[in-house]
Amino acid sequence: MLPIGSLADAAAELAATFRGQLLQPTDTGYEDARKVHNGLVDKRPALIARCHGVADVVGALDLTRRLGLEGAIRGGGHNVAGRSTIDGGVMIDLSPMKGIHVDPENRTVWAQSGVTWGELNRETQLHGLAVTGGVVSSTGIAGLTLGGGVGWLMGKYGLALDNLRAVELVTVDGRLLRASKHREPELFWALRGGGGNFGVATSFEYELHPVGPTITGGPIVHPIERSRALLEFFRDATRSLPDEHTLFATLTHAPDGSGMKVAALVTCHCGPLEDAETAMQPLKQFAPPILDAVGPMPYSQLNSMLDANYPKGALNYWKSNFLIELSDAAIDTMISSFARCPTTMGQLLLEHFHGAVTRVNATDTAFPHRHEGYNLLVLAQWMQPTETGACIAWARETYEAMRPFFAAGRYVNYLDDDETDDPIAAAYGPNYRRLQQIKARYDPTNFFRMNQNIRPLA
């Protein structure tokens, strides 16, 4: 080990070649840089390395290892569970890395790990192209893709990770690798769902598809008294959706800030506008809504439509699980649980999986959840710390009430930070042991453990 004195000395040495910022607790800008999207997370790294390039990442990793500190990797987005930061260790912050290059002829895009979906869509939509991204534009491409990639286009084009062509990765020992189907194929398999367990993913190359610039989508909002009928309608409608049509349902609160509880459908159709108009008719004719904002709009607008509902700094606590089916009893339990929701920013969300995302074998990528069905997200969000106890209790109680309807699988991107059991096996199912083997090859000491952690197979 190279002899280094204090952290300050090590940081000063690295600063000689570091292009980004190295921030310690007494430095200007540290307080803002340490804050993550979820206001419930309040951690104080000993050093924040705000990287401007791959060489900065390599240097920050080297410093962290030599000092024997723990490290956490931060991308450009949310990381609600708070595992992108750390107390007393080094936060390797990729959020300044914003490079994007679109190749419209080959329909590909290369983007660095600090990019958000809103930023990526802004560039790709100049060419009428897109790839499955998050449903909120401030979501980072890195975390979403490495853990799965649920989005408006997944019925037609699969998850974000299904559209990966390559990932550039810095390993724990500072090597720079390019993983693809032809180079480091085992690593590439693991990166498509295995999260940040194998190194620091510094950039991604995606396949693009013709989308927009105008698609059809938006929300339809109904009175809360119509919840049961709406969720039954949602269940029936999702049994026969075309690939181009994505439909989610939610018990939530009115977007006008009144705090009124409502039931809503949120939808996207990425096919021809005339086909979309036909597909939307049953939704529009179900019953007179409070609000019907479904219609033609730019794809980028749809992708940012929900942003205001997820403000940075709000306190968040999430619980999630796939459902065996959306049974009558599950619907009743959702309705009764939501009636007790103590925050006007809380919701219960049902994300429907169908189409292209379900036509991939469970072992073709590390992400194994390839059956048609529903993922339930219990989303507690609030602004005042005095509400924390009640909101967390509601999320936990709702999750327990819904447990009888749960399938075995869990979506790794929605796992929270205080799981009492070990959810990782449920998140990866038949792929877990293979992931442990690959982890042992690329990160045998489990340095990258501030994540939804896959422990290396001994």
The three-state secondary structure class of 5 is coil
Total domains in the fold of the chain: 3
Report the pLDDT value the prediction gives residue 220, as an integer from 0 to 100. Answer: 97
Q: The domain that contains 151 carries what CATH number?
A: 3.30.465.10
Quick check: is 2 in a domain? no
Q: What is the pLDDT of residue 5?
A: 56
Same-domain check for residues 57 and 77: yes
Helix axis angle for 328-338 and 227-237, nearest 10°, is 140
Task: For residue 373, list its beta bridge partners.
Answer: 353
CATH number (domain holding residue 56): 3.30.43.10
Predicted confidence at residue 328, as pLDDT, reads 98
Same domain, 223 and 184: no
pLDDT attached to residue 223: 97
CATH of residue 304: 3.40.462.20
Nearest-CA neighbor of 426 among 329, 322, 275? 322
Nearest in space to 391 (alpha carbons), one of 380, 399, 400: 380
Q: Tokens in use for 398?
A: 């709702």
Residue 417's pLDDT is what? 64
Q: Classify 125 as helix, strand or coil.
A: helix
Closest by CA to 92, choosing from 200, 246, 18, is: 200
Domain ranges, residue 339: 214-414
pTM flag (> 0.85): yes
Tell me, yes or no, whether 362 and 322 share the same domain.
Answer: yes
Say how far apart CA 240 and CA 156 lie, in whole Å: 14
Q: What is the pLDDT along the chain (458 residues), one digit of tens a residue?
A: 334 458 999 999 999 999 999 999 999 999 999 999 898 999 999 999 999 999 999 999 999 999 999 999 999 888 888 889 999 999 999 999 999 999 999 999 999 999 999 999 999 999 999 999 989 999 999 999 999 999 999 999 999 999 999 999 999 999 999 999 999 999 999 999 999 999 999 999 999 999 989 999 999 999 999 999 999 999 999 999 999 999 999 999 998 778 899 999 999 999 999 999 999 999 999 999 999 999 999 999 999 988 888 889 999 999 999 999 999 999 999 999 999 999 999 999 999 999 999 999 999 999 999 999 999 999 999 999 999 999 999 999 999 999 999 998 889 888 876 666 678 888 999 999 999 999 999 999 999 999 998 899 87
In this predicted structure, what is the pLDDT of residue 255? 80
DSSP 323: B
Together in a domain, 126 and 254: no
Nearest to 111 by CA among 77, 82, 158: 77
